[in-house]
Amino acid sequence: MALTQKRKQELFAEYQVHETDTGSADLQVAMLTERINQLTAHLKKNEKDHSSRRGLLKMIGRRRRLLAYIQQKDLERYQNLISRLGIRR
């Protein structure tokens, strides 16, 4: 269920703030969104997988906090990021 190395590299290329960026808030949100989408698809097939559901809720909470941080620091960057990721808020 984890992200493949190829997909991580694609996310790095698309959401990096600068060339050596490996952990900016934008990149973390993008990676969390990808994992959340994968886990959501998994839970549609496996409705009784409660431990994965708990992990999903924790990831959603972490993404929500990171998005709040970005929104507080730079509103334009926040709006650009959620539109690129297709996240409703």
Predicted confidence (pLDDT) per residue in 2-41, tens digit: 889 999 999 999 999 888 888 999 999 999 999 999 999 9
pLDDT of residue 1: 59
Can you give the CATH number for the domain in which 50 is found? 1.10.287.10
- 80, 42 contact by CB (below 8 A): no
78 within domain boundaries: yes
Identify the sign of the CA torsion 45, 47, 48, 52.
positive
Q: What percent of the chain has pLDDT over 70?
A: 98
- Domain holding 66, by residue range, is 26-85
Q: What is the pTM of this model?
A: 0.91
DSSP the chain: -PPPHHHHHHHHHHH-SSTT-SS-HHHHHHHHHHHHHHHHHHHHH-TT-HHHHHHHHHHHHHHHHHHHHHHHH-HHHHHHHHHHHT---
Domain count across the chain: 1
Residues whose CB is less than 8 angstroms from the CB of residue 17 and which lie 6 or more positions away in sequence, other chains included: 24, 26, 27
11 within domain boundaries: no
Look over the chain and give the mean of its residue pLDDT values, rounded to a whole number.
Answer: 94
